[in-house]
């Protein structure tokens, strides 16, 4: 096959890929401005901002968003130290002990979220703790911490261990060596792990649905309403998420470009 033919196939594949990825999002955005309910683009009754006003007045959605942010913040605060501790522990154990402990600590990733949610509620019920934000935080932390641990392990494998040894030889305590050498080295991974933990917590449904009891998050509220039919308010929420995602991506690209220019300026 000629280079021109393979290039045409590649462009065709990319076109199909982007249509497959973004056409549903485009339809969702269009339905959010359609006066017709349930959401539709094939039946158009005119442009409207009515659903934005309904979302603004929907107190359960806003309380669900607040609960989602509270849970996500608490999960980050718990999962990152736990994941870092697990990564440091595994890095200092022997191969046999580390292999067994690694299997145990990664097992929450392989456990269905429903099981994690139900087991958390059953366990804490023995201590007369009802399902709520607390149990949802603990249930999510069990698997989010495993994600963080894997990320920290990958980063620590690239660290030069002799740097900490040199610091210890110069009189630094283990805590000082960790704070001045290892922690700065892990800073990019800490930021990345925090973002991943936030997204994993915010969008989680299966574990949260069973662990949160009578409370609700934004995702569980949307899921419960889906059982009674689609609402254009959900499309409006999707529009805001798309705007937030694009904004974060643009800001990240701008910051990376500034870092690249600054690095080039220093090297020059």
Q: What is the DSSP letter of 172?
A: -
pTM above 0.85, yes or no: yes
3-state secondary structure of 47: strand
pLDDT score, position 268: 47
% residues pLDDT > 70 (the chain): 95
Tens of pLDDT, residue by residue over 196-248, are 999 999 999 999 999 998 899 999 999 888 877 778 888 999 999 999 989 98
Contact 208, 217 (CB under 8 A): yes
In a domain, 193, yes or no: yes
In a domain, 133, yes or no: yes
> Which residue do the tokens 């309380």 mark?
63
Neighbours of 67 (CB within 10 A): 22
> Which residue do the tokens 């509620």 mark?
121
Q: What is the domain count for the chain?
A: 1
In a domain, 63, yes or no: yes
In a domain, 45, yes or no: no
> Which residue do the tokens 């299966």 mark?
206
Q: What is the CATH number of the domain that holds 171?
A: 1.10.3720.10
Report CA dihedral (68, 71, 75, 76) to the nearest 10 degrees: 60
> Which residue do the tokens 């110069």 mark?
170
Whole domain around residue 65: which residue ranges? 51-229
Tens of pLDDT, residue by residue over 83-139, are 999 998 888 776 666 777 888 888 888 888 899 999 999 999 988 888 899 999 999
Residue 165, both tokens: 């040894």
Residues near 2 by beta carbon (within 8 Å), at least 6 away in sequence: none
Q: What is the mean pLDDT of residues 237-266?
A: 86
3-state secondary structure of 159: coil
In a domain, 26, yes or no: no
In a domain, 209, yes or no: yes
Better-predicted residue by pLDDT, 42 or 96: 42
Mean pLDDT of the chain: 88
CA–centroid distance for 114 within its chain: 18
- How would you classify residue 128: left for phi > 0, otherwise alpha for psi between -120 and 50, otherwise beta? left
pLDDT score, position 150: 93
pLDDT score, position 41: 80
Contact 41, 27 (CB under 8 A): yes
Which string of b and e fits 101-111 if b means at least 16 CB within 10 Å?
ebeebeebeee
In a domain, 267, yes or no: no
In a domain, 205, yes or no: yes
């Amino acid at each position: 096959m000629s280079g021109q033919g393979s290039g045409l196939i590649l462009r065709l594949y990319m076109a199909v890929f982007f249509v497959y990825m973004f056409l549903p999002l485009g339809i969702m955005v269009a339905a959010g401005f359609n006066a017709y309910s349930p959401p539709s683009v094939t039946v158009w009754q005119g442009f409207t901002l009515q659903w934005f006003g309904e979302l603004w007045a929907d107190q359960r959605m806003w309380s669900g968003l607040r609960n989602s942010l509270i849970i996500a913040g608490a999960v980050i605060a718990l999962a990152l130290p736990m994941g870092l501790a697990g990564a440091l522990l595994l890095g200092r154990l022997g191969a046999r002990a580390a292999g067994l402990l690694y299997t145990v600590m990664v097992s929450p990733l392989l456990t269905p979220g429903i099981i994690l949610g139900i087991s958390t509620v059953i366990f804490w019920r023995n201590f007369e703790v009802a399902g709520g934000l607390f149990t949802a935080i603990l249930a999510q932390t069990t698997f989010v911490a495993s994600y963080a641990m894997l990320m920290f392990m990958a980063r620590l494998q690239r660290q030069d261990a002799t740097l900490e040894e040199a610091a210890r030889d110069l009189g630094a305590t283990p805590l000082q060596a960790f704070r001045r050498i290892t922690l700065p080295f892990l800073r990019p991974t800490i930021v990345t792990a925090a973002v991943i933990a936030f997204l994993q917590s915010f969008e989680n449904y299966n574990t949260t649905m069973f662990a949160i009891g009578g409370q609700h998050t934004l995702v569980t509220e949307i899921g419960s309403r889906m059982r009674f039919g689609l609402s254009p308010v959900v499309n409006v929420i999707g529009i805001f998420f798309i705007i937030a995602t694009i904004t974060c991506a643009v800001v990240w690209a701008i910051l990376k470009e500034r870092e690249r220019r600054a690095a080039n300026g220093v090297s020059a």
